[in-house]
Structure 1
């Protein structure tokens, strides 16, 4: 449980770092310098952004030092699209996506996850991050098996004290008669050689009446409500989200290579069929959805092992074989 909490915090840091970068600040060298406490890096960043960078650096150090297995685990590898969290037009009330589901034989110490994030970054400091994540993942360390599981995850303080995966703590409320519960195995999975693709459609939607964040799930079908995160769980997300993201990440013990992502095929030039996101849609305050018609910034950390394509007609491809040893 602690490992997943620390992973969530590492993910929030990566998304926040990249959000600053996509707003026009060249931070890829700055981040590395901050990690090494190089004061020259801070000299190139001014005003509120500088303060946020200091806070993020402190949180990064805290995450690294407090993770029980920090000496053995690498940082997660990402292939993600995301919006930037600033600007008057960044008001989101939900997100919709369809994604393929695949099976892989992973070892303890490896994890592979595909999902969507609905966040509010507050003032940009990770300790105030409100986040909801849903999707599918394979985590032998958590479940004791190598099957894909439907998951939910939430926090209102950057995974510092609040939130958990699935229903491991009070938070997510399962609806009566729901077709699935968080943590359940997804079966069957896609069979790439045979061309049989199994997919799940997920929707996270802020209910206009109650203000609760509802999660919808459908296996090869239209999604239905499976439960909700009460509005009272959150601070910033109690009103709206200001960032959405979707994609995948993998984690690994330093003694092991990175595991496969998605189907295990690269989206460009890889053998086999790459995993996909389709029917990508933003949801507005009235519950109306609209397809994503323009590309979004991407975060890819190990291109030779995992990647994601630009968005075209509300869909994209992602994934990779893994095998990186960092």
Structure 2
């Protein structure tokens, strides 16, 4: 039950942001401040209970497998496409990002991710998503090391979906040298050489399955796939994508570092980055991102993300926020 309560709170927060949008305040490449608590967000969320926005994917892994009513601090920094329109057709996303080590306590989590989604028919239970990234999640793994992870849902994180291979869904490719949930053994520090992972999610044109690719300091190779039959709307295409990071903590603890732990104004070499950001089309061809995407940031005081420039951006922050 812990997991479901946190998910519902996260979804309520997302609904709040959508309620803001439909009232005429557009989310552009500027910062939007989060309500002061999930309780307030829940109240605003009642405005649009029958719609789940793409923003839910920002906090989905905040789903973190835990469901504690006291995990009240969630901060995120993300770029996302618009989603839900009839002409929003997406078939894959690729990004390269550094992996960093931090000493986290139970009930703290830090995650960097890419995601593909479909908002369905507007009802929460029709929302589909696949998320891939790296995170440090002591509550889930019993350690404070970075892990490669996957997450999925086809009903708005209500009853379906899980991390990695903790439930039926993800199928590991024969011969794959890595599996979802594996430790990323080499990680970076602010003053150390950056170790990079390249993440890719794409819809196979022939099978319709969603393949996950992973590469450590090199080109990504196939790890496995989410069968087309696992989903409803994502069986055809995605109508939204996003990438970024989030941190979450028990209300009694400070928020952990995001990315390298340095603010983007620390510059390349200190702040964490996304590079080689690429769209993947229906035929599997990839093209670099040449335009900026809308930005959603909880609080620039704690964590932030820069505009997309030359298929890349900087993100992160030291954490230490306490509400």
Structure 2 length as normaliser, TM-score?
0.86
Give the CA deviation at 1:190: 1.2
CA displacement 1:62-109 (0-9 Å, x = unmatched)? x99xx8521x11142110000111333310001000010000000011
Tell me whether 1:211 sits opposite 2:208 in the alignment. yes
Mapping of residues 78-157 of structure 1, within 5 Å: 78-157=76-155
Give the CA deviation at 1:154: 0.3
1:45 aligned partner: none
CA contact (8 A) 1:201 1:217 kept: yes
1:232 aligned partner: 229
CA contact (8 A) 2:268 2:314 kept: no
Give the CA deviation at 1:21: 5.0
CA contact (8 A) 1:94 1:283 kept: yes
1:168 aligned partner: 166
CA displacement 1:93-132 (0-9 Å, x = unmatched)? 0100001000000001100000011000012332211000
Distance of 1:91 and 1:214 partners within structure 2: 17
Distance of 1:19 and 1:4 partners within structure 2: 23
1:187 aligned partner: 185
1:273 aligned partner: 270
Distance of 2:238 and 2:174 partners within structure 1: 26
CA displacement 1:148-202 (0-9 Å, x = unmatched)? 00000000001101111000000000001112111000011013213x0101001
1:306 aligned partner: 303
Tell me whether 1:54 sits opposite 2:49 in the alignment. yes
Any idea what SS the aligned residue of 2:49 has? helix
CA contact (8 A) 1:96 1:282 kept: yes
- The number of aligned residues is 306
Give the CA deviation at 1:287: 0.6
Q: 1:112 to 1:18 in 2, by over 3 A?
A: same
CA contact (8 A) 1:19 1:85 kept: no
Structure 1 length as normaliser, TM-score?
0.85
Higher Rg of the two aligned structures: 1
Any idea what SS the aligned residue of 1:277 has? strand
Moved more, 17-26 or 176-185: 17-26
CA displacement 1:24-51 (0-9 Å, x = unmatched)? 832879988984757xx99xxxxxxx6x
Distance of 1:16 and 1:223 partners within structure 2: 35
CA contact (8 A) 1:5 1:164 kept: no
Any idea what SS the aligned residue of 2:133 has? strand
Distance of 2:276 and 2:17 partners within structure 1: 24
CA displacement 1:6-38 (0-9 Å, x = unmatched)? 555555555565466567832879988984757
CA contact (8 A) 2:73 2:251 kept: no
CA contact (8 A) 1:10 1:75 kept: no
Distance of 1:301 and 1:236 partners within structure 2: 29
